[in-house]
Structure 1
């Protein structure tokens, strides 16, 4: 079996068995194609299954070095290495071949991105006003949609939820005035956590549900125009429209509200362990990224306010 045939079988498996997204299949196919082209020159001939199984870690490092010389950044090389690892593992399993090249190979180190938070004023503005402002090129948003957006973005900022966590809630989960003090959320890996709910969040959700009389507990809390569970892309579009009309920065996204929640808690004196539990982070190191944001904000304030900062 040639390398090209092995690639084709792997991509078919990725699409059919793993049900990978079309974009993932296309990207992995391109990455593996780059790798096979490199090997053809590196080995002097097109590799077959046996040649792929006998690759050494040095061969993979040579490919990564060549890609780096061509200008590929660490993120691109890390993605390509992930595609190659998956491809070689699949080849080894399907052909019952050992793949020693995978042992002990480490990919490029990636610096985790620093979360980009909004200012407290911007975050409050997004939460309170996104549902009230519409694109002047289109008809005014229905009252239910406007109340929904206000409730959703108030919840994201007030509780620090991921957009997927918020949209997975049902009407029966809704934190309303007089209900439980905390909201039960299912995070990544279906791991539950309890998040305190501010009165402003309860009031916004109550105002939204008042426009949906008779809503059943099993219905989606946030629904689209046709009654189905709201698509994250629709929520992102609503905020994108608002931020451009209001002149907010481009990083004003639904996820930025979660970053803002954590950053503003840290700035207010909350400890990292508490923030970790509220966000549902498995590792404290993930939460520690917010200390960088807080330190950066503090330095910016010092530069603006200190008479000797220039």
Structure 2
């Protein structure tokens, strides 16, 4: 962290980060990004005003100063998306600080983020998704490892799980029943149905796995018996991409996108898919699915008929 930041600001930043880690369940990676983004803003204000700034000075930050910080950040070559992320972190810090110190943060909170083109997710075609599952099995000569990778990939595509959610399952979740209770982002709980193909894939893996099925142990094990690392599945998907000639966007997370898109294409209700994915906002689910507007309206008209 820059030496230009005053001790009071450093302490406030650390307290906010501690709160984000404890209450918002932010990951270490996210907290590191928050620290860099907010510290960069505080450093800019110190330089901009000619010296380290205390908390009282932060309360008097003006809209032109926010714009000056954003302009300086853009001059370093960062993208509009990255700047929007930095501004979001600074706003979050200011909301907390204003509540704690009792000042009006309007000048910061009303600053507009730069517009950028959101990258739409690229799901796989249904036949490509099936080919991925079939090809994953051929990536390892060790039968139980091959069965494990198939089980994980089948859960991602068949249940719409995040890879962290699939790898977070424990022995207590096995054998899988007709549904799974998943604790997702922000500690939000949801129930997802488990297709017979997914249950069968997990059962097959468990029948071959050489490690004990203890309730508290990870369901999916690495070759040495510890918890399976997400990088292992990402590596398997990279091999499968090359063999099938799929684009770089064919990642484990793309299988979750594919789950949502294929459900909607089959006539699924957008709000029901939102619940299955664990999205807080319906607009997030809509952006998550690669279905054109005409198709969305068709589904909307069918599931929400006009009087």
Q: Pick the TM interval, shorter chain.
A: 0.7 to 0.9
Cα shift readout 1:172-212 (whole Å, capped 9, x = no counterpart)? 32355xxx422332223333333222222122111111113
Q: Please, what is the CA RMSD of the aligned residues?
A: 3.4
Which range is displaced more, 239-248 or 270-279? 239-248
Q: 1:297 to 1:130 in 2, by over 3 A?
A: farther
Unaligned runs of 5+ in 2: 22-26, 296-307
Which of 276, 288, 292 in structure 2 is aligned with 1:295? Answer: 292
Cα shift readout 1:135-193 (whole Å, capped 9, x = no counterpart)? xxxxx4x22111100111011111111111111212332355xxx42233222333333
Distance in 2 (CA, whole Å) between partners of 1:11 and 1:86 is 11
**TM-score of the two chains, using structure 1 as the length reference:** 0.76
Q: CA deviation at 1:274?
A: 2.1
Q: CA deviation at 1:264?
A: 1.0
Distance in 2 (CA, whole Å) between partners of 1:290 and 1:33 is 31
Which of 68, 78, 81 in structure 2 is aligned with 1:75? Answer: 81
Q: Does 1:61 align with 2:58?
A: no
Which residue pairs with 2:28 in the alignment?
A: 21
Distance in 2 (CA, whole Å) between partners of 1:281 and 1:16 is 25
**TM-score of the two chains, using structure 2 as the length reference:** 0.77
What SS class does the counterpart of residue 82 from structure 1 fall into?
helix
Which residue pairs with 2:192 in the alignment?
A: 195
Distance in 2 (CA, whole Å) between partners of 1:206 and 1:46 is 63
Unaligned runs of 5+ in 1: 135-139, 299-310
The within-5 A match list for 1:1-310 is 3-6=4-7, 8-9=10-11, 13=15, 21=28, 24-25=31-32, 28-29=35-36, 32-33=39-40, 36-37=43-44, 40-41=47-48, 43=49, 45-49=50-54, 50-68=56-74, 71-85=77-91, 96=101, 98=103, 100=105, 101-109=107-115, 112-134=118-140, 140=141, 142-176=142-176, 180-212=177-209, 215-290=213-288, 293-295=290-292
- Name the larger-Rg structure: 1
Distance in 2 (CA, whole Å) between partners of 1:52 and 1:209 is 56
Q: 1:258 to 1:87 in 2, by over 3 A?
A: closer
Q: CA deviation at 1:240?
A: 1.8
Question: What is the total number of aligned residue pairs between the two structures?
Answer: 284
Distance in 2 (CA, whole Å) between partners of 1:22 and 1:10 is 20
Q: 1:289 to 1:48 in 2, by over 3 A?
A: closer
Distance in 2 (CA, whole Å) between partners of 1:122 and 1:184 is 28
Q: 1:77 to 1:4 in 2, by over 3 A?
A: same
